[in-house]
Structure 1
C-alpha cells in the first residue's frame, strides 16, 4: 500500500460493517462492541444520527476501495474561549491488517485540518489508560495531556 494513494471521505452506510469490525478488533473493543451479521440496529441508528448532524463527521481512510481506517470528528460550540468552537476525536481505528503503516497519523492530520477549516480553536480527545501506546501516538502528533478526563457510564434504557 502506498500512503500517497490513500484517500479520505465521509463514511457511507455501506462502510458500516467494516467500521464496526475495526471498532471491535482489539482487547478493549471486544468488551464493548458487538460485531454480528447483520449488525445491531443500534449501529445503524447511530450512523444515521451522525450522518444527519452537520457537526459530526465519520471519516474513513481508503486504500483503493477498501476502508482501512476510521475516526469520528465532532465540532462542539462552547461559551468558553469567547464562544469558541472545539473539535473532539473519537473512535480512531486502523484495520488490523494495515496497522503500523502511518494511516492513523494521516487520519488524525485530516481531522485536525477539518477542525481548523471549521474554525475550531482546539481539538481534544481521550485515550483509555489501558492503551499507553495510544497516548504516545497522540503525543507524537502534538497532543498534550493537560487535563484529567473523567467519565460516568450511564445505564442504557
Structure 2
C-alpha cells in the first residue's frame, strides 16, 4: 500500500471502529460507552443499509503501526427535500499523530462520493463552535453554516431523552 487508503468497514471491523470512537471521545474528554460497548453497537450498525463506516488504512511509513488510523460514520435518512436521502456525518476522526497529512480530506472526499452515489441531496455536519480547526477544515471543503441567501448562522439543538 502506498500511503493511506479508504475502505468501507464491515461487521468484522466493529472492534476497530469501537476503539477509534472511544479514542476520539477520550481525546475530547467526552464521557460515554466503552470501546467494547461501541463495538457491540457497531456490530449491529454495520449491517444496516443506511449506515456507512469508512476506515482509513495506512502503512508503516506514516505511523508506527499499520492498519486503520481514522474513520467516518455516516447515516442516511429519508427527507422530503430530495429524491434521495439526507446524509449526516456523525463522526470523522483521525489519530492525532497523523493529522495534517490529508487523511481527513481523503476520508471526507470518499464519504461525499459514496453518499452522492446513493443519491443523497446534502450532507449535514455538527461542529462545536469552539472547535475552530475543525470548522476551518469543513469550510475548506465547501461546508457552510449560513444557508445561501441568508445572513444568519444555522444552529443545532440537542435534548437528551
Question: TM-score normalized by structure 1?
Answer: 0.81
CA–CA separation in structure 1 for the residues paired with 2:136 and 2:130: 12
Cα RMSD of the aligned pairs, angstroms, is: 2.0
2:6–2:106 contact (8 Å) kept in structure 1: no
Are 2:109 and 1:139 equivalent residues in the alignment?
no
| Ranges in structure 2 where 5+ consecutive residues have no aligned partner | 60-65, 147-153
CA shift for structure 1 position 10: 2.3
Aligned pairs for 1:1-157 (under 5 A) are: 5-11=3-9, 12-16=13-17, 18-27=19-28, 30-33=29-32, 39-40=35-36, 42-64=37-59, 65-81=66-82, 83-146=83-146, 147-154=154-161
1:125–1:71 CA distance, 2 compared to 1 (3 A): same
CA–CA separation in structure 1 for the residues paired with 2:18 and 2:39: 10
CA shift for structure 1 position 54: 0.7
| Ranges in structure 1 where 5+ consecutive residues have no aligned partner | none
CA–CA separation in structure 1 for the residues paired with 2:104 and 2:32: 20
Question: TM-score normalized by structure 2?
Answer: 0.79
CA shift for structure 1 position 85: 1.4
2:86–2:123 contact (8 Å) kept in structure 1: yes
- Give aligned pairs, total: 145
1:85–1:120 contact (8 Å) kept in structure 2: yes
**Runs (4+) off by over 4 Å:** none
CA shift for structure 1 position 121: 1.2
2:62 is matched with none
Query: Higher helix proportion, which one?
Result: 1
